[in-house]
Amino acid sequence: MEEIINKVAKAGLISLDIKDFYPRGIRATIDLKEQLWQELVLKEKDFRSWVKQFDWNKFQGQNVGVWCSADAIVPTWAYMLIAAELEGIADFIAFGNEEKLEVALVQSHIQSLDLTEYKDQRVIIKGCSDISEAEVAFLELTKALKPIVKSLMFGEACSSVPVYKKR
């Protein structure tokens, strides 16, 4: 019987799954629409009272997006007050709805990774993924890996697309 040779292992390729680089944790959003008077205006006194009485601990350890779904002008300090309350409680705070939170979370997470183990390696990032905002994750991982890897590919070892090769 003929010996089966693992050509991927022999080629020295490191195969990465984008899911392994995806941030974990519960996502939540705070929509300031409910704090507006007639969905038009934020009244400072009422808003400060709400901020003081609200139970911020329910966001303990969560990734939180803060936004307003109403077509209203919300003063910047309102977002700052909420960020001040969430700091030290939430794991991550961003401006935006669910989608914008996800984008900010993915960008921040990948940018903070220590990828030195991939220095001067031949890396292939698996192409199939069902995670949300996968394009953002692929883009951010490419930006993070390009300066340190020997080569970067996308797909599977049997049918990869070259993305970058150090010259």
> Between the CA of residue 141 and those of 12, 33, 74, 104, 154, what are the distances in Å?
20, 35, 34, 14, 11
* Burial readout 63-87 (b: 16 or more C-beta within 10 A, e: otherwise): bbbbbbebeeebeeebbebbeebbe
Summarised one tens digit per residue, pLDDT across range 81-92 is 999 999 999 999
8 Å CB contact between 33 and 70: yes
The pLDDT of residue 138:
92
Rounded to whole angstroms, the Cα distance separating 84 from 114 reads 28
* Burial readout 18-44 (b: 16 or more C-beta within 10 A, e: otherwise): beebbbeeeeebbebeebbeeeeebee
The pLDDT of residue 26:
97
Summarised one tens digit per residue, pLDDT across range 15-52 is 988 888 888 999 999 999 999 999 899 999 999 999 99
The answer to whether the predicted template modeling score (pTM) of the entire model surpasses 0.85 is: no
Q: Is the pLDDT of residue 11 over 70?
A: no
Report how far apart the first and last C-alpha atoms of the chain are (Å, whole number).
41
Residue 30: its H or E element: strand 27-31
Helices (H), the chain: 7-11, 44-53, 76-86, 98-111, 134-145
Per-chain mean pLDDT for the chain: 92
Q: Where are the domains of the chain?
A: 7-23+114-165, 27-90
Rounded to whole angstroms, the Cα distance separating 147 from 134 reads 21
